[in-house]
Amino acid sequence: MSKHVVVIGGGVAGMEAAGQLSKYGFEVSLVEKEKTTGGHLNDWHKLFPDRRSSTEVKEYLDGIILNKGINVLTNTTIEKFNKNRNTFSITTSGGTEMTADAVIVATGFELFRSSRKEEYGYGIYDNVITSSDLEEMFRNDRILMSNGDVPSTIGIVHCVGSRDEKVGNLYCSKLCCVTAVKQAIEIREHLPQSKVFCFYMDMRMGGAHYEELYREAQEEWGVSFIRGKVSEAGETIHNRLVIKVEDTLAGRPLKMELDLLVLMAGMEMSDGGKKIAVSAGLNTGDNRFFAATDNHYGSNRSNIDGIFYAGTCTAPMNITETISHARAAVSEVMDYLNDGKK
């Protein structure tokens, strides 16, 4: 009888892991809390660095999990999680009881709730939006201010909820810089008359083709980059947004009026992940993400034999890295189940 592997989380990592496991002949159950799989891909219009449509990646992932005999449970969460001698007993919110020989946790990330940075006015001023809100505007092909006007000056704030001791997140979310560059280009593409300003502390263009995209933003799209952390956003008496920042390269404080302010929300451990961590007894790190047993060669391994991690539940990752990480998790599962450990 083939071994049963339960994958918790139906985003990019979970779908890739489930698809690969199924390909190798395992019986697979994929548990997803939302009504559809795809995770954050469903919220994004186009992807960095090549600005391809997110639906293309979604189609690839659907292709490897649909009609492959994978037991996909949507609208489902994990209610009970028990480790037996060699197996795991899992009860879902739908009341289904499953016995798993191994588990892949792929609970992913959540975007930082930008209203927690009160000084940026998300939820207070209508024209302060998040990177995720902007993606929705791109999808609807309508980039408008709250009063229906077309914005002409747009500011983008990097590091919202990342690298910020005040919100308890010391880490860099790694993807927001390149997302800001991508979105700045897209704004200019949609609104050729607009001016876009990115406010950054450091430009972290560490991924493949990121630096080239940064250059393209400057060279071809005329995006302006100002080095300084925005300290606060407010409104003028004419209800126009106004931000304060130090232009640190000029060495002087700068005030700028804007029509739209986009906050680059960072990545945080998901609530679902936190619950699993408690119910299964999995270790988490200071950054609240799952703590793998070794940073170099054990990034998929947990402190419990038979439970493995895939994707952004361990750290911020882009889609390329997430897919690689998920495949690596599958390889760990195969070693574990074939090793005679059980």
Binding residues for another protein (CB under 8 A):
119, 159, 163-166, 201-202, 227-232, 244-248, 251-254
Least Cβ distance, residue 119 to another protein (angstroms): 7
Choose between 244 and 288: whose C-beta lies nearer to another protein.
244
Residue number with CB closer to another protein (124 or 249):
249
In whole angstroms, the minimum distance from the beta carbon of 287 to another protein comes to 15
Shortest CB 169 distance to another protein, Å: 9
Give me the least distance between CB of 184 and another protein, in Å please. 20
Closest separation in Å from C-beta 230 to another protein: 7
Indicate the residue among 35 and 252 with the shorter CB distance to another protein.
252
Nearer to another protein, 77 or 248 (CB): 248
Q: How far is the CB of 260 from another protein (least distance, A)?
A: 20
Q: For another protein, which is the closer residue by CB, 21 or 128? A: 128
CB nearer another protein, residue 266 or residue 316: 266
CB atoms within 10 A of CB 250: 11
